[in-house]
Amino acid sequence: MPTTEYTPPPNFIRTIVADDIKANKNGGKVLTRFPPEPNGYLHIGHAKSICLNFGIAAEFGGLCNFRFDDTNPGKEEIEYVESIMADVRWLGFDWGDRLFYASDYFERLYEFAVELIRSGRAYVCSLTADEIREYRGTLTQPGKDSPYRNRPVEENVDLFARMRAGEFADGTHVLRAKIDMASPNLNLRDPVIYRIRHVTHHRTGDDWCIYPMYDFAHGLSDSIEGITHSICTLEYEDHRPLYDWFLDVLDVPCHPQQIEFARLNLSHTVMSKRKLLQLVREGHVAGWDDPRMPTLAGIRRRGYTPESIRNFCEMIGVGKRDSVVDVGLLEYCIREDLNRHAPRVMAVLNPLKVVVDNYPEGQTEELDAINNPEDAGMGTRKVPFSREIYIEREDFMEDPPKKFYRLAPGREVRLRYAYFVKCVDVVKDEKGNVVELHCTYDPTTRGGGSPDGRSVKATLHWVSAPHAVRAEVRLYDHLFTKANPNDESGGLDFKACLNPRSLEVLGSCYVEPGLAGAGPGSRYQFERQGYFCVDPDSSDGKLVFNRTVTLRDTWAKIMKSGQAGK
């Protein structure tokens, strides 16, 4: 169930699929696929594709295959296939028994290649990589035929068999489709479809030393699986004629329709594997699952819920224009989810001690607190109160500006669920820093009510000093300050746009005692501080909270716009 009343907008892919079903194309069936290459971690951009493929299938009573496009060993690792499966599962999708690998089809693909050769549509080319590039021509000039283009069929068959048998070194020969060296679409200028790679494949081991290229393997794999709609990103638009060419020319089970959509770009975020790898390698982040990373592993660790990601993918829509979605929308989605489902607790991140002078020394009492004011079903809990408490340092100002409603000398505020307190004294150190506050409380306001009807302008969160549990808190912010770090043309200049405050570790924070045994991954809303989750990886027994996202902060806005003056 989506977490909002929001109705997803129609999109062109839904329309195409709906029309196909109406026309009874493919017998009215829908079979999509999510085909990652296991050469890295999945990121939020992949989530869009996953949600789209599994979503469209589910929506129209079809299914979605999960296939690893593992045709380039050397870049691919078993570690990645495992992380990818875990991420898709975490996102909430179930591929049932439809887990496939392009490498499962290597034999079949080889046969297709031989069929191509026998029909005179493919040839073994012995030009070097550099020569092939030269022969390909340029964007404006046509290419020229390879001298090997008209090799006799039998020679091609023989050579290709010997390529497979391992008789040749890497780079000495390739198999090319014989299409059109003058095509304005460079992808059609006799594309390479098989190359020699004496590399151990993570699944097929050393069974093969020739591997099919994407263009050849992908469409045929789709066809073998009976895919109806092959949804991919915009950069493959130029490849569609080639995708169709193989399926037209070969004797295949079916001819899926390739549909392209715009990949996700997020402001303040880099999404390319190359740049993400650079962030990891140069040590700007702790690893692929650093909570600041846009990887699903990082986002999960940061405390995002799969529901919020799915909802986000629904809200951003699907189109063909290059766009950059504001991270603010992602943050909206996680706030909305957590606001409903995460219990609220009080935690003081930057403590200032307050002594309640007229509260009996040594006395403690348990007060009732509500876990979620908007969901009575989430119940209540007890929080201890005593003579010494901590409040947020920023909740007190000795000389408050006009619109500051919180605590100040002589002013009375409410301690949430506890009492009204009035500040009667301010203690400072030699340097003039406020180190402690003295207040008096009104016993008749127990629980936070005011029997005499008097009101206060602010309610503060707090924790009892002797009872509070110490915790480490990591405040995460955007990794990048630049509006869109993807703007640069050459290499990304991290120095220019990395946010130096993307990670702030607080070591002396205090949380309610009830959080002492909070399990890894549990999520909370810290009153007025944001949404936090217990780091799933806090292994050394320390209580560590990751800030998932901040709350909307109106006061900060007022301060920023300078309206808080006296």
Instruction: Write out the binding residues for RNA, residues 29-88 only, by CB under 7 A.
Output: 35, 37, 69, 71-72, 75
Q: Of 295, 331, 293, whose CA–CA distance to 312 is shortest?
A: 331
283/138 Cα distance (integer angstroms): 39
Instruction: Answer for the pair 143, 181: CB distance below 8 angstroms, yes or no.
Output: yes
Q: What is the closest distance, in whole angstroms, from the C-beta atom of residue 129 to RNA in the complex?
A: 3
Q: Is 437 in the site for RNA (CB under 7 A)?
A: no
Q: What is the closest distance, in whole angstroms, from the C-beta atom of residue 14 to RNA in the complex?
A: 9
Q: Which residues pair with 389 in a beta bridge?
A: 354, 464
Number of Cβ atoms within 10 Å of the Cβ of 376 = 10
Respond yes or no: is residue 263 known to be catalytic: yes
Interacting span for RNA (CB under 7 A) from 106-114, 133-141, 354-362, 541-549:
133-141
Q: Is 192 in the site for RNA (CB under 7 A)?
A: yes
Q: Which is nearer to RNA, 73 or 291 (CB)?
A: 73
Q: Is 234 in the site for RNA (CB under 7 A)?
A: yes
Q: Is 309 in the site for RNA (CB under 7 A)?
A: no
Query: From start to end of 213-265, where are the E strands?
Result: 229-233, 257-261
Question: How far, in Å, are 167, 338, 446, 456 from residue 290 at the CA level?
Answer: 45, 21, 43, 42
**Both tokens of residue 350?**
């930057």
Q: What is the closest distance, in whole angstroms, from the C-beta atom of residue 147 to RNA in the complex?
A: 13
Residues 245-304 that bind RNA (CB under 7 A): 262, 267
Interacting span for RNA (CB under 7 A) from 157-165, 250-258, 500-508, 523-531:
523-531
Q: Which is nearer to RNA, 154 or 235 (CB)?
A: 235
Q: Of 461, 467, 513, whose CA–CA distance to 364 is shortest?
A: 467
Q: What is the closest distance, in whole angstroms, from the C-beta atom of residue 58 to RNA in the complex?
A: 19
Which of residues 238, 248, 425, 493 is near RNA by CB under 7 A?
Answer: 238
**List 98, 149, 197, 273, catalytic entry:** 273
Q: Of 57, 45, 49, whose CA–CA distance to 17 is shortest?
A: 57
Instruction: Answer for the pair 534, 518: CB distance below 8 angstroms, yes or no.
Output: yes
Q: Which is nearer to RNA, 139 or 505 (CB)?
A: 139
Instruction: Answer for the pair 398, 434: CB distance below 8 angstroms, yes or no.
Output: yes
Interacting span for RNA (CB under 7 A) from 147-155, 230-238, 354-362, 507-515:
230-238
Query: From start to end of 143-221, where are the E strands?
Result: 174-177, 192-196, 210-212
Query: From start to end of 44-188, where are the E strands?
Result: 63-68, 99-101, 122-125, 174-177
Task: Give the total of residues touching RNA (CB under 7 A).
Answer: 96
Q: What is the closest distance, in whole angstroms, from the C-beta atom of residue 118 to RNA in the complex?
A: 22
Residues 448-487 that bind RNA (CB under 7 A): 448-449, 458-461
Q: Which is nearer to RNA, 407 or 503 (CB)?
A: 407
Q: Is 162 in the site for RNA (CB under 7 A)?
A: no
Interacting span for RNA (CB under 7 A) from 77-85, 90-98, 181-189, 244-252:
181-189
Residues 311-340 that bind RNA (CB under 7 A): 315-326, 328-329, 332, 335-336, 339
Place of tokens 């529901």: 307
At position 282, the amino acid (one-letter code) is E
Q: What is the closest distance, in whole angstroms, from the C-beta atom of residue 45 to RNA in the complex?
A: 13
**558 contact partners, CB below 8 Å, separation of at least 6:** 403, 564
**Both tokens of residue 49?**
């594709």
300/298 Cα distance (integer angstroms): 5
Which of residues 136, 255, 341, 382 is near RNA by CB under 7 A?
Answer: 136
**Both tokens of residue 497?**
């746009």
Q: Which is nearer to RNA, 129 or 153 (CB)?
A: 129
Q: Which is nearer to RNA, 68 or 503 (CB)?
A: 68
Q: Is 185 in the site for RNA (CB under 7 A)?
A: yes
Respond yes or no: is residue 273 known to be catalytic: yes
Q: What is the closest distance, in whole angstroms, from the C-beta atom of residue 397 to RNA in the complex?
A: 9
**Both tokens of residue 329?**
């929308």
Instruction: Answer for the pair 102, 67: CB distance below 8 angstroms, yes or no.
Output: yes
**Both tokens of residue 465?**
């000093």
Counting Cα atoms < 13 Å in the Cβ hemisphere of 263 gives 14
500/358 Cα distance (integer angstroms): 45
Q: Which is nearer to RNA, 303 or 536 (CB)?
A: 303
Interacting span for RNA (CB under 7 A) from 17-25, 214-222, 280-288, 350-358:
214-222
Q: Is 24 in the site for RNA (CB under 7 A)?
A: no
**Both tokens of residue 400?**
């408050």
Residues 343-402 that bind RNA (CB under 7 A): 346, 373-374, 395
**List 37, 260, 331, 512, catalytic entry:** 37
Instruction: Answer for the pair 434, 352: CB distance below 8 angstroms, yes or no.
Output: yes
Q: Which is nearer to RNA, 71 or 228 (CB)?
A: 71
Name the 3-class secondary structure at 425. strand
Interacting span for RNA (CB under 7 A) from 310-318, 425-433, 469-477, 501-509:
310-318
Q: Which is nearer to RNA, 89 or 402 (CB)?
A: 402
- Crossing angle for the helix pair 12-22 and 44-59, to the nearest 10 degrees: 20
Respond yes or no: is residue 416 known to be catalytic: no
| Positions marked catalytic | 37, 263, 273
